[in-house]
Amino acid sequence: MRLTFFKKLKRHIPNLITTGNLLCGSFAIVNAFEGNLAMSCYLIIIASVLDFFDGFAARMLNVSCGIGKDLDSLSDMISFGLAPGLLLYQFVKILNQNQPMELLTQYPWLMYIAFIIPVFSSFRLAKFNNDTRQSTTFYGLPTPANANFFIFCILLYLFPDLPMIINVSSIIQPIVSNPLIMLGFGVVFSILLVAEIPMFALKFKSLKWSSNKLPFTFVLIWLGLLVFTNIVAMPTIVLIYIVWSIIACNLISKKVEPRDVNS
């Protein structure tokens, strides 16, 4: 009987981790409303960690549950769709208050462009749930990667004096402190969420190098960037992920493209 209890409990461990993701996203929304942007960012970071570990736990425990996939997408919609959209809106609003821009002051409704993130995130997640191609490869930018790009841009603005071996603050600060650029990123990255662009999945099948060369290589690059540029590494690695995926997929498609026998 005890063994049966532990088997049932094991099945629900990934769902409990996913629920933690959902709670962090909800708390992030509350903090964004209250103007606590840094705390909101930290909570989304924790949600991202939990989002990674729920899938990892499911694979390690060799458990699957029909409700798990839907629960994961619903949680991601809150933590990586609605929360970052609201956070970007609040951030752009604060930026414009500190250094008013004529366009946003004259047309304040333009700040609502930030909510393109939850709209396109919902399409991204719905597409993922119904697309059988996305078991090992994603089509479009994953919502956690999109969310992390924005929260770390916000943290870079909030903490401009972070120590760096290679100091790139003079390049980064003008970008993250410009509300129009940040809204522009919101539009571009939202389009990438639903774009038919294959992107590799950072899923570790095990802890062996031989079966996880790409994820491990990517993590090592990220760690190197983190050492030299502090948290600038976070939005940078998202950009590298996008470019790397596009280049890799183009190279693969060229390799497998059949030759024209008539040429």
Burial class (CB in 10 A: 0-12, 13-18, 19+), 218: middle
Nearest Cα to 70, choosing from 29, 117, 130, 23? 130
Q: How far is CA 7 from CA 2, 11, 16, 209, in A?
A: 9, 7, 15, 30
HEC profile for the chain? CHHHHHHHHHHHHHHHHHHHHHHHHHHHHHHHHCCCHHHHHHHHHHHHHHHHHHHHHHHHHCCCCHHHHHHHHHHHHHHHHHHHHHHHHHHHHHHHHHCCCHHHHHCHHHHHHHHHHHHHHHHHHHHHHHCCCCCCEEECCCHHHHHHHHHHHHHHHHCCCCCCCCCCHHHHHHHHCCHHHHHHHHHHHHHHHHCCCEEECCCCCCCCCCCCHHHHHHHHHHHHHHHHHHHHHHHHHHHHHHHHHHHHHHHHHHHHCCCCCCC
pLDDT tens per residue, range 197-217: 888 776 655 566 666 677 788
Residue 84 pLDDT > 90: yes
pLDDT tens per residue, range 116-168: 999 999 999 988 877 766 666 788 899 999 999 999 999 999 999 999 999 99
Nearest Cα to 24, choosing from 61, 62, 64, 53? 53
pLDDT reported for residue 199: 84
Domains within the chain, CATH numbers bracketed: 2-195 (1.20.120)
Confidence at 55, pLDDT banded by 50, 70, 90: confident
pLDDT tens per residue, range 215-244: 788 889 999 999 999 999 999 999 999 998
Burial class (CB in 10 A: 0-12, 13-18, 19+), 182: buried
The residues, ordered by sequence, that sit 6+ positions from 133 with a Cβ below 8 Å of its Cβ are 139
One-letter amino acid at 103 equals: L
